[in-house]
Amino acid sequence: MNKLRMSIVSALVLFGGATGGLNSAQAADWWVAVGGAGDGTTSSTPTNGIAATINGAAASDTVHIAEGIYTENDIAVGKYLTLEGAGKDLTVVQAASARSNAVTRVFYLTAGCVLKSMTVRYGRHVENDYGAGIALANNSAFNVTIEDCRITKNDSMGDTVAPKRGGAIAAPGSTAAGVLTLKNCEIVDNTSAGGLYGGGTAGLWVQKKNTVITNCLFEGNAGAAGAGAIYSSSAPLDIGDSTVISNISFYRGGGIYAGGSLTVRRSLIAYNIALNNGGGFYIGDAVHAENTTICNNTAWYDGGGVCMQNSGMAGKTQTFYHCTIANNYAVGDGGGVRRPYGTLKFYGTIVARNDSSGIYKDIYAGAVALCTNSLVGDRTGCPSSIVAGTPNAMGSYVGTSASPVDPRILTLIDNGGPTRTLALGAGSPALDHGINPLSLISDQRGAPYTRTWGAGCDIGAFEYGPFPTTGPLFKTY
């Protein structure tokens, strides 16, 4: 009898038996389409309504959302699902018919999930809420992946006191865990209004959840009190092959505010504005930056490109490998870098052509700084360890206010790869005078743009070489 029962159960499992429990253990696919009238079990019989389909799906199922515009709000995801659209230009999920009509957010996640290939727009939250586009539950411990999505035109609204967190995405909670992953996403034209400090971040707002960002664009986000684009309160933040451009914060971190450790690779941080400190980014912990360009940012106080001003950073190290920090401006001091605490290290990095209203144009640093095979336009504001010379004993080209060193960098354009770069002009002292302690294979642009070409590697994020100037390696937008 036991053998017979086991055989029946095995057959049901193998052939998709009729019991709900057995079926729920097997991942299923569901299809949704605008005007769908079927049961949603096949692509030819789609159902209508994302939220209703989610409610009927089981954990680990995939919900396919066909091309079209879906107007639904506060879509709750309470089990692990994959929600996959037809593409960010084809599938649009919005909380209202127009941005001006929005009153609630778009998605609310209380479980881990994957969101793919869609646009999320016209979400709004007010007062003590968070996450107008996509909100993760408070103190969540699950993992979330957002891939190939455009999150745009979402707004955090309210008065001047209540926190408005994450116009596009919010992951709150002082005990949160897990990982938030963004891949190939566009976080564009989101806003926040009101709130104090980090609450007003327009783009991505995270407290304790580790965040990994790869090949993403953050552009045109405006935050009233937090960072313009990305705010991470105290968890590690890892950014690669991404562009953070033309964002504004009415507080610190026009582009990025990183209260926890920051790792940034092969990225561009440009044309961001902070009405306080840190036009490009504001740092409160350790930094590892490599092959990254930080340029044309503005701070109305200190640190036009980078500001590391927290006294709690005394035991922290901020290291820049093959970065270019140029053409930034601070109304206060430290047009390029402002770092009074901690240990600052430059390897093969350019800090030049920055400006400020004060006397410290390129760097305003504390006592501990190391500058190896790098280029500093004007050492005014540097500690005594950074000595003028062309080159000095550390292999660095370091100028003074009377005789600054010109890196001869060109205009920020598409020179290939996923992000724009500042190429080196003919006769630049940065050519062949760098150092590569990490044995990096490529420059900021990635393969095939090698890190070393010629007699040696160049200083800065860009490596001069006989590389292609047109073709499929170049962006089309």
- Of how many residues is the chain composed? 477
Place of tokens 């869609």: 118
Average of per-residue pLDDT across 279-302: 96
Q: Write down the pLDDT at residue 22.
A: 29
Confidence class for position 185, pLDDT limits 50, 70, 90 = very high
The H or E element containing residue 53 is helix 50-56
What average pLDDT does the structure give for the chain? 89
Q: How far apart are CA 165 and CA 171, in angstroms?
A: 9
Q: Is the pLDDT of residue 118 over 70?
A: yes
Q: Measure the CA–CA gap between 390 and 455, rounded to whole angstroms.
A: 18
Supply the pLDDT for residue 163: 52
Interval 396-407: pLDDT, tens: 999 999 999 999
pLDDT per residue over 299-314, tens digit each? Answer: 999 999 999 876 666 7
Cα–Cα distance for residue pair 153/99, rounded to 1 Å: 7
pLDDT digits (tens, 9 = 90+) for 314-324: 778 999 999 99
Collapsing DSSP to helix, strand or coil, 192 comes out as strand
- Residues linked to residue 146 through DSSP beta bridges, in sequence order: 115, 182
How crowded is residue 177: how many other Cβ atoms within 10 Å of its Cβ? 14
Determine the pLDDT at residue 258: 93
**According to the model, what pLDDT value does residue 470 have?**
62
User: Using DSSP, how many helices (H) and how many strands (E) does the chain show?
Assistant: 3, 50
Cβ–Cβ < 8 Å for 221, 190 = yes
* pLDDT at residue 310 in the model: 67
Model pLDDT, residue 474: 57
pLDDT bin (cut points 50, 70, 90) of residue 11 is very low
Q: What is the pLDDT of residue 286?
A: 92
Phi-psi region of 444 (alpha: psi -120 to 50; beta: other; left: phi over 0): alpha
pLDDT at 159 over 70: no
Name the E strands within 85-128.
Answer: 91-94, 107-109, 113-116, 119-121, 124-126
Amino acid at 451: R
427 CB neighbour count, 10 Å cutoff: 8
3-state secondary structure of 236: coil
How many other C-beta atoms lie within 10 A of the C-beta of residue 104? Answer: 18
Residue 98, pLDDT above cutoff 50: yes
For residues 134-148, average pLDDT: 94
Tokens of 200: 């007003």
Amino acid letter, 36: G
* The two structure tokens encoding residue 34: 């605008």
Does an H or E element contain 371, and which?
A: strand 369-372
Q: In percent, how much of the chain has pLDDT > 90?
A: 75
Whether 172 shows a pLDDT value over 90: the answer reads no
Helix (H) or strand (E) holding 14: helix 2-14
Are residues 123 and 150 in contact, defined by beta-carbon separation less than 8 angstroms? no
**C-beta of residue 362 within 8 angstroms of C-beta of residue 381:** yes
Residue 15 in this model has a pLDDT that exceeds 90: no
- The answer on pLDDT for 20 being more than 50 is no
Residue 355 confidence (pLDDT):
97
pTM as predicted: 0.92
